[in-house]
Chains A and B, each alone.
Chain A
């Protein structure tokens, strides 16, 4: 059985929480006592129905205000797959929380209220999907019950969204008409939407091919932690613990340690203390090298015939996530997987308008949720790939050293 991580997005009240509740409910992943608690907390509703959204809205403030502030993670399993859902907040001011949920997702469900069609948040979330290169997009046109399950309404929204998708370069887009509230086209095909010949949502999620989402051709590895037991039997042992970011490593591979640029050979691979012949992404591993080289956390070990970029001047797209604005010229810490370096944000060239996607000139500082193109200079070189080619080795964060907050999502370009 494999694993699919997806995120639900869309504007406030488009039905994200209801949809997740419905998926859990209809796939029998809600347990009896949770259901009882749910029924208890919906007792004072006038229509007597169960509010499925309450299954995910976990914080008191959220329940009180009836909105979602932070990403809630939910889990369900069908005989075919295990699913991890990130239920992301719809409000503009919580975009950074949405990015948190989106950054690990293999698929995004963008909900659209059938009565409203494409709205600003639809575009904004689609832009995030495009920026973060979420491999698969599902546009779920919800509340079909409120438009009499009309095929025309559905078709018009498909046409409208296809334009957005084209602009953003989203290629893998699937459209499904649903009613989260009534359960139409969620688990079972709906009689009321018989004109639709695609799969119901859950079936689609169970069957979508995700095998190719992991890059197995470009071998990338970064040292997280150096293991040196210094015991009697393992006196000179020096193993580099980390995760295979992408690709495959084999014992005997000729490798290069970067940024130092030293060539050597993999002498041993271990997994959980047991020797193995090969490892692949995203497995954890401990690598031993045939030469005694000075290697520390954050250094990369790659194969000599497939090298990443090495530079201390980085062209990036950057999404600002902090309430305090980005002041160009300010120093930050940049964390690229496990490598931490000092950095300065320079030359902010333009910002992307989240509605038109047009490049706009910068006026003043960069504010929360703005996406800009910039150049970052780092104190020592980074070993990376363009995000669009290999996202797992092309992403980084900026940390404000005074607040210690994570203040930006960085997509490395060149």
Chain B
């Protein structure tokens, strides 16, 4: 390991991701980077900047906005777009709901997560995007563990797990028929901890909610959910103020906070190493439904 020409694991992961980004830029006419506001997509933007420097990122960042965002995440999104000199496209689930006369999700924590698919497919159609870059990682979940880095979707955005193309060496085949598009996952081979370590190594900025702060929350089945205008507390709910941070950043209605005093990156990483719970398990409120939930969503065009 002493050779001067040796890349450590983060260097190797970064090299693979940058290679993928450049393949996307070269192979597709209208790619887009799906920007969710979380640390994975922030890392994607960082990698894309590195891939094309000193040029700018040759595709827009697309945010499918559920309207249930953390304000801190939106602020950060706008700052990042400026900082990267990138183009930002925002399309709102709210508008899709109105246009298509969709039914607003109900309940205590109404999640528009599922409805994002509609807005996404409309946005793809509107801009004629032929490739959407996403920040999914294979370690997140079992159906994801099976997905190729270049994943072909039909015109309904559907994934057919039984008809995946062979993906050999580092050669990526992004050829598609009209109407199809490809989802590309440049950080497929990164784990959550790899992302955190990379953020530390590269000094990548994050929205403040990733670090410990005081927040009004209610407890729901052992998880802490931020109080917001989108949440409908029940009569017996107690609103508490706790010191928390977020491990993933999604919608306010379906992302749980973890109690924490970790206010620096080192402290956050130490906490994550010592918690023996996965990211999804700890923070996604809507994901415990069924084992096959993700596979179904992916088949239906979810990111």
Contact = CB atoms under 8 A, between A and B. Distances in A.
A32 B277 contact: yes
A159 interface: no
Size range of the chain A interface in the assembly: 35 or more
Contacts of A32: 276-277, 281
A404 B175 contact: yes
Interface stretch (A150-158, A166-174, A192-200, A393-401): A393-401
B1 A211 contact: yes
A326 B50 CA distance: 41
Interface centre among B6, B55, B193 (most CB of A within 10 A): B55
A224 interface: yes
B142 interface: yes
B168 A60 contact: no
Contacts of A301: none
Contact of A72 (B11, B16, B145, B281): B145
B97 to A, nearest CB: 30
B175 A59 contact: no
Contacts of B165: 405-406
A100 B167 contact: yes
Contact of A73 (B13, B176, B188, B276): B188
Interface in A180-236: 211, 214, 216, 224-225, 227-229, 234
A1 B15 CA distance: 16
Given A32-B276, A59-B295, A396 B171 contact: yes
Nearest to B164: A70
Interface centre among A70, A228, A272, A404 (most CB of B within 10 A): A272
A283 interface: yes
8 contacts: A2-B8, A56-B145, A73-B189, A100-B166, A241-B51, A248-B5, A282-B12, A284-B18
Interface string A332-351: 01011110000000000000
B282 interface: yes
Given A31-B281, A272-B53, A335-B171, A99 B166 contact: yes
Nearest to B202: A272
Contacts of B152: 404
A104 B170 contact: yes
Given A31-B278, A75-B139, A404-B177, A395 B169 contact: yes
A407 to B, nearest CB: 8
Contacts of B51: 241, 284
A397 B281 contact: no
Interface in A51-107: 55-61, 63, 69-75, 77, 81-82, 84, 96-97, 99-100, 103-104
Contact of A243 (B15, B25, B189): B15
A294 interface: no
Interface in B70-119: none
B291 A41 contact: yes
A296 to B, nearest CB: 10
Given A273-B50, A338-B26, A321 B146 contact: no
A305 interface: no
Given A34-B281, A270-B53, A404-B177, A58 B189 contact: no
A273 B46 CA distance: 12
Given A59-B143, A392-B170, A395-B171, 19 more contacts: A2-B9, A3-B8, A58-B142, A59-B142, A61-B161, A74-B145, A82-B194, A225-B52, A241-B22, A284-B14, A284-B50, A335-B171, A335-B173, A337-B171, A391-B169, A397-B171, A404-B152, A405-B165, A406-B167
Contacts of B188: 73
Interface centre among A271, A336, A397 (most CB of B within 10 A): A397
Nearest to B148: A100
A16 B16 CA distance: 27
A6 interface: no
Interface in A98-121: 99-100, 103-104
B280 to A, nearest CB: 8
Interface in B206-243: none
B15 A224 contact: no
A297 interface: yes
A262 B141 CA distance: 49
A33 interface: yes
B168 A103 contact: yes
Nearest to B85: A231
B145 A77 contact: no
Interface of A: 1-3, 31-34, 37, 41, 55-61, 63, 69-75, 77, 81-82, 84, 96-97, 99-100, 103-104, 211, 214, 216, 224-225, 227-229, 234, 237, 239, 241-243, 248, 270-273, 280-284, 286, 297, 321, 333, 335-338, 391-392, 395-397, 399, 401, 404-406, 409
Interface in B21-35: 22-23, 25-26
A58 B146 contact: yes
Given A224-B19, A229-B55, A282-B15, A58 B143 contact: yes
Interface string B292-303: 100100000000
Contacts of B53: 270, 272-273, 286
Contacts of A75: 138-139, 189, 191
A119 B161 CA distance: 29
A295 to B, nearest CB: 13
Contacts of A338: 23, 26
B284 to A, nearest CB: 10
A207 to B, nearest CB: 11
A1 B189 contact: no
Given A61-B162, A248-B5, A284-B18, A397 B168 contact: yes
Contact of B173 (A60, A211, A284, A406): A406
B212 to A, nearest CB: 22
A99 B292 contact: no
B171 A225 contact: no
Contacts of B168: 99-100, 103, 395, 397, 406, 409
